[in-house]
């Protein structure tokens, strides 16, 4: 059973998906601590409702390293095996990333390496992509550049609003983040350079084409 620390800044729907997947036994793990850098993040309420210790650590008025040292102190206290960023809206410096490399994951709402950065659901819609998606990756020292663990693709229809696209992506985020953590907990992920090798990978095949005819 792995010990998971989750970092959030917002509503925490991915956090909830991870908690639920641990509680159901899908993930052989437990969320042992949640840290938010935003005081009013609803994810904090989710953590409390689930009986998980949660901390609010503001980044304001601190150097990046000072802020990260406070995160590290809590993560070490709870002896986490994996740090999952779930809507955590701060860039982490090499100081933090080097310490947790290989056990630090992020979810990004686009098919990387397309659309790194923020507000990318809207950017995909504006760009006019016909297929959007999401990515779980290990975090490296770049922004949204780390080794990719899993991706899911969704169609974007002509009459979609940007909000429709956001919600369609989010639905898949709630599947792929628990799956990535499950694979990690089972010891099935190996990083080889940029590539993540997955032991016992299911090869389902198929493809997504949009429009489909
Ligand atoms: C998700 O779309 C995630 O991919 C992005 O921020 C959003 C967080 O949503 N990084 P939530 O807080 O998990 O509901």
Whole-number average pLDDT of the chain: 97
The alpha carbon of 166 and the centre of ligand 1 are apart by a number of angstroms equal to 10
On whether residue 207 sits in a domain, the answer given is no
Quick one: pLDDT at residue 125?
A: 98
Number of domains in the chain: 1
The answer to the question of residue 202 being in a domain is: no
For residue 189, the model assigns a pLDDT of 98
- CATH number of the domain encompassing residue 91: 3.40.50.170
Q: Where are the beta strands (DSSP E) in the chain?
A: 2-8, 29-36, 54-56, 82-85, 104-108, 131-138, 148-155, 189-192, 195-198
Instruction: State the pLDDT at residue 193.
Output: 95
pLDDT of residue 112: 98
Q: What is the pLDDT of residue 99?
A: 98
Nearest atom in ligand 1 to 109's CA = 4
Confirm whether 31 is domain-assigned.
Answer: yes
Task: Report the predicted TM-score, pTM, of the whole model to 2 decimal places.
Answer: 0.97
**Residues with C-beta less than 6 Å from any ligand 1 atom:** 8, 10-15, 43, 86-87, 107-109, 170, 173
What range defines the domain where residue 74 resides?
A: 2-192
Catalytic residues: 108
User: What's the pLDDT at 91?
Assistant: 93
What is the C-alpha separation between 196 and 72, in angstroms, rounded?
25
Q: Is residue 199 part of a domain?
A: no
**Structural domain includes residue 200:** no
Residue 198 domain-assigned (yes or no): no
Instruction: Say if residue 36 is exposed, middle or buried (CB neighbours under 10 Å; 0-12, 13-18, 19+).
Output: buried
State the pairing for strand pair 195-198/2-8: unpaired
pLDDT score for 183: 98
211 within domain boundaries: no
205 within some domain: no
- Give pLDDT tens digits along the chain (213 positions): 999 999 999 999 999 999 999 999 999 999 999 999 999 999 999 999 999 999 999 999 999 999 999 999 999 999 999 999 999 999 999 999 999 999 999 999 999 999 999 999 999 999 999 999 999 999 999 999 999 999 999 999 999 999 999 999 999 999 999 999 999 999 999 999 999 999 999 999 899 999 998
For residue 87, the CA-to-ligand 1 centroid distance in Å is 4
Of all protein residues, the one whose alpha carbon is nearest to atom 9 of ligand 1 is: 87
Question: Is the Cα dihedral 196, 119, 141, 15 positive or negative?
Answer: negative
């Amino acid at each position: 059973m792995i010990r998971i620390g989750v970092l959030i800044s917002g509503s925490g729907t991915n956090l909830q998906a991870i908690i639920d997947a641990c509680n159901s036994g899908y993930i052989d793990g437990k969320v042992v601590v949640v840290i938010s850098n935003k005081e009013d993040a609803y994810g904090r309420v989710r953590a409390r409702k689930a009986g998980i210790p949660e901390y609010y650590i503001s980044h304001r008025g601190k150097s990046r390293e000072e802020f990260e040292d406070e995160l590290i102190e809590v993560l070490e206290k709870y002896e986490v095996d994996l740090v999952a960023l779930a809507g955590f809206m701060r860039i982490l410096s090499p100081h933090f990333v080097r310490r947790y490399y290989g056990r630090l994951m992020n979810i990004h709402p686009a098919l990387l390496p397309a659309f790194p950065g923020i507000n990318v659901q809207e950017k995909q819609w504006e760009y006019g992509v016909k297929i959007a998606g999401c990515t779980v990756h290990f975090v490296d020292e770049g922004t949204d550049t780390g080794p990719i663990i899993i991706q899911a693709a969704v169609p974007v229809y002509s009459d979609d609003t940007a909000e429709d696209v956001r919600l369609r992506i989010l639905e898949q985020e709630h599947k792929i983040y628990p799956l990535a953590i499950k694979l990690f907990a089972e010891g099935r992920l190996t990083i080889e350079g940029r590539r993540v090798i997955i032991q016992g990978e299911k090869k389902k095949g198929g493809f997504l084409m949009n429009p489909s005819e």
